[in-house]
Structure 1
Amino acid sequence: MSPMIVSINPENMPLHKLPFPALTICNVNQAKKSVAERYKKFGDSIDIKLLESLCSDQTDADIFEDNIAGNADWDHTRSFLINVTQPCNEMLSLCIWNSASMNCQDLFNAQLTDEGLCCTFNVVHRENMFRNPRDLNDMNITFPLPSVDWTPESGFPDNAPADGFPWRAKGIGTDHGLTLVLDANVAEYYCASTKSPGFKILLHNPTETPNIAKLGEVYGPGIEARVAIQPRILDAQPTLKFIDVNKRLCLFSSEKKLVFYRTYTLRNCEMECEARIMLDVCKCVLYYMPKNKTTRVCGKADAKCYGNMKKYVPRGRERACEECLPACTEISYFERPSSAMLSKFLVGHYIQSITLAQNKTAEYFTENMLVIHFYFEDNSFMRFTKGEIFGLTEFLSNTGGLLGLCMGFSMMSAVELLYYITLRVLCVARQSKSIQPFNK
């Protein structure tokens, strides 16, 4: 009934076999104030409605009238989001990777997520993430070379170079991690997705698309934060494939192929499932969902449909994507943060080293900047391995032991009992008859 057991693997995973987590960073500010005011003053009715939908608690179906919604297609909305959101070159003031100061544009790419325009780090090359990357209709993205085909199940190839992408940390501590200085630009806040200024930051698997609106951690400006990365590693023995899926409740990558993603993970499967359901019901998908060039992206005319999809569950199911099971081999990342307030008396050397902040005062730095360090604190990490609780080897050994015990009791004990009752008695009797008494 329960053929699987999860145990602690005695062999830890070394640091050089684990990729640094992918990071997605978004400014919680949904629109720059200067751009928003320009749209309100000189923009057309569509841009004004788009700005209202971005900053209002009302649903898109309540904001857009039928005569305007048809003109608010995805191409127009995409240009609006890119223009109104803080770009990555303004958000990222300083990037230090493995103690080397690097151009932030070489480390981060702009990506449209469910939180708007965000910046991503260490996500695998799109050739290794998607099955047909050329069919994607997305933003122009550049990746550092050489690229490595890493997956949680197969790991890094044996011939992977040490500086292969996705990157790996070369040691523990902040000296071998990622240090960022982020500019919130609080004066440009027009409306935010939270009740406070700052950033949403999500650590995730490099092969996954981030779901940052629901899962991102919030970090405010004016602090220095240290984030110790704690990976959670689950793997499985190959013999687990012979156990029925309904009993082991996990999937190997070869057992379920996704349409868009090359690597099977629970979140990738759920992302595809949600997109497929929305495409079936609304005949379109949201802009951050997996899609190809022929898939229609939902415009504001579809607001009544996609606005009700959050609670939609197909008939005959208890939940929308119940066919998506966890992967048998999964790697996820959790953070253990600590922080302290910035002091304007201690940030002078930072201002001198940051190109975008050289014209900024110490007061601006302490009110708008976030200094954050991401790093590992261990050289090896515990693994939890799923395996058979009673495999062929255990069956044979237990069966042999039980049979040995049974035979040892029935046969040997019977022979010994027969011996003591018959032969032993006869031998003792014959020995007693042959004894002669002493003669005088």
Structure 2
Amino acid sequence: MIHPRKDFNFIRPRKSIDKHINKQNLWVHETHQELTPWYVWDTKIPISRSKSEERLGNGTYRQTIKSFSRDLREYLLTSTLHGLRYIGEKKLTWFERFFWLAAFLFSLICAGFFILNVYAKWRLSPMIVSINPENMGLNNLPFPAITICNVNQAKKTVAQRYIRTGTSIDKKLLESLCSTHNDSDIFEDNIAESADWEYTRSFLINITQQCNEMLTSCRWNSNVMSCQDLFNAQLTDEGLCCTFNVVHRDKMFRNPKELNDLNLTFPLPAVDWTPEGGYPPNAPENGFPWKPKGVGTKHGLTLVLDANVAEYYCASTESAGFKIVMHNPTETPKIANLGEIFGPGMEARVIIQPRILDAQSDLQYIEINKRLCLFSDEKELLFYRTYTLKNCEMECEANAMLDLCECVFYYMPKNKSTRVCGKADAKCYENSTQFQEKKRVCEDCMPACTEISFFERITTAPLSRALVRNLAWKLNKTTDYFV
């Protein structure tokens, strides 16, 4: 059935429509309880913000906090540091998370403590001592200097001659050499004035065994050589001794022409070797001090020493034999208290092991009181050209002795103008209290940053009569005497 279209029009009163529109276009302000349009064309009318807008700003701040918390938890869960992932794990209780946080903080505190401790040690001693992985070739290292002394202080025949025909000064000097009494108790004032150094020097040279009597046979680098070409006589704190491979005196002392010492001869060519500088680039292969040609007894020094026991009158030890010390070629040895004792009738083999302290040049920029060593150009000695700890101590003791007694011992470094102590100075140099106080200044001597020292390992065995007959015949000695 078809019906005609009917249009239905709902007509709302105009008044109600206007009222509805007006409510949509107005904000209700609780403060003034009045209606204000949310759009204002007049810019002079102030617009106030509602609490909902203020809550919108606070929401942005909370959103930032939540974002940071989310990123922090993500970092904790993905961090490889031990313990942090447990702090951000939500499945754990608060106590468990707090425990891991406390453990992590404790680990940080301990790590900081140890780091500060290591840093403090580095500040006090900024040097690192390590073993050099590179070996040093023998062509860069000198053979050690060797000083040999017979412990016999006086030959019997010479001592008996002095007792029979010697002067009163000779007898007092012999008593001083062999007695344990102080020189001040032995020498009277009138005799002590005559026993000056020149007289005492001649006495020591005459009564001590000479090097040509001590050294019977010498072989260097498998070559038989004259012992006089290898050794020099030297006055040490043990008396007259024999030295091998000590650097030329022109290379050891600053003013060698002013030295009041024995007349010495050295092999040529002499090389200016120092522990810090080593051998010069243009140094000849056979330059002195000599280098070892290889390892083993065939490339070393072989000696036959004659103790001459029959001539023993008084010794510095309770046995017969020799005192031997190996030292840096640039140093003057002190052998009385440091020498190794070798008895007669024995074969001794000495294995030498060098100990080398080498410092990098960068250490020179570190303060001396922190690195505790000196480079050669940082302290200049008065007598010695090369700075070493032993040379510094020897020179310091000489200066202390010179300040105390206005003289030095005969074995100390000196020049021609320095007076050598005689027996008249015994009361002064035997005053050990004042001398020890003077020696305290020697504590300022520091080790050299580059030093070479030698350690020896000794093995001995008694000589066999059957094996030494041939050698005794070559040396024109009987087998009994040789053994």
TM-score range normalised by the length of the shorter chain: 0.7 to 0.9
Cα distance in 2 between the residues matched to 1:264 and 1:207: 9
Determine if contact 2:149/2:238 at 8 Å carries over to the other structure: yes
1:67, distance to aligned residue in structure 2 (A): 1.1
Cα distance in 2 between the residues matched to 1:216 and 1:314: 26
Unaligned runs of 5+ in 2: 1-122
Cα distance in 2 between the residues matched to 1:77 and 1:244: 47
Aligned pair partner of 1:331 in 428, 437, 452:
452
Cα distance in 1 between the residues matched to 2:197 and 2:240: 14
TM (normalized to structure 1)?
Answer: 0.81
Aligned to 1:254: 377
Q: Secondary structure at the match of 2:337?
A: helix
User: How many corresponding residue pairs?
Assistant: 360
Aligned pair partner of 1:268 in 378, 391, 416:
391
Aligned to 1:13: 136
Percent identity for Structure 1 against Structure 2: 72
Query: Quick check: 1:48 aligned with 2:165?
Result: no
**1:100-125 deviation per Cα after TM superposition (whole angstroms, max 9, x unaligned):** 00000000000110000000000000
Determine if contact 1:278/1:309 at 8 Å carries over to the other structure: no
Query: Quick check: 1:363 aligned with 2:480?
Result: yes
Aligned to 2:249: 126
| Residue identity opposite 1:282 in structure 2 | C
1:63-142 alignment runs, 5 A limit = 63-142=186-265
**1:243-268 deviation per Cα after TM superposition (whole angstroms, max 9, x unaligned):** 11001100000000000000000000
Determine if contact 2:217/2:303 at 8 Å carries over to the other structure: yes
Cα distance in 1 between the residues matched to 2:433 and 2:246: 27
Cα distance in 2 between the residues matched to 1:321 and 1:158: 35
Q: Which runs of 4+ in 1 moved over 6 A?
A: none
| Residue identity opposite 1:277 in structure 2 | A
Q: CA RMSD in A?
A: 1.1
Aligned to 1:345: 466
TM (normalized to structure 2)?
Answer: 0.73
**1:355-410 deviation per Cα after TM superposition (whole angstroms, max 9, x unaligned):** xxx1x2101000xxxxxxxxxxxxxxxxxxxxxxxxxxxxxxxxxxxxxxxxxxxx
Aligned to 1:416: none
Determine if contact 2:309/2:320 at 8 Å carries over to the other structure: yes
Aligned pair partner of 2:357 in 219, 234, 253:
234
1:353, distance to aligned residue in structure 2 (A): 3.0
**1:115-140 deviation per Cα after TM superposition (whole angstroms, max 9, x unaligned):** 00000000000000000000001100
1:16-415 alignment runs, 5 A limit = 16-309=139-432, 312-314=435-437, 319-354=440-475, 358=476, 360-366=477-483
Cα distance in 2 between the residues matched to 1:363 and 1:272: 46
Higher relative contact order (CA 8 A, sep 6+): 1
Cα distance in 2 between the residues matched to 1:25 and 1:55: 20
Shift in CA distance, 240/224, structure 1 to aligned 2, threshold 3 Å:
same
1:308, distance to aligned residue in structure 2 (A): 2.1
1:312, distance to aligned residue in structure 2 (A): 2.7
Determine if contact 1:227/1:337 at 8 Å carries over to the other structure: yes
| Residue identity opposite 2:452 in structure 1 | I
Aligned to 2:102: none
Determine if contact 1:313/1:320 at 8 Å carries over to the other structure: no
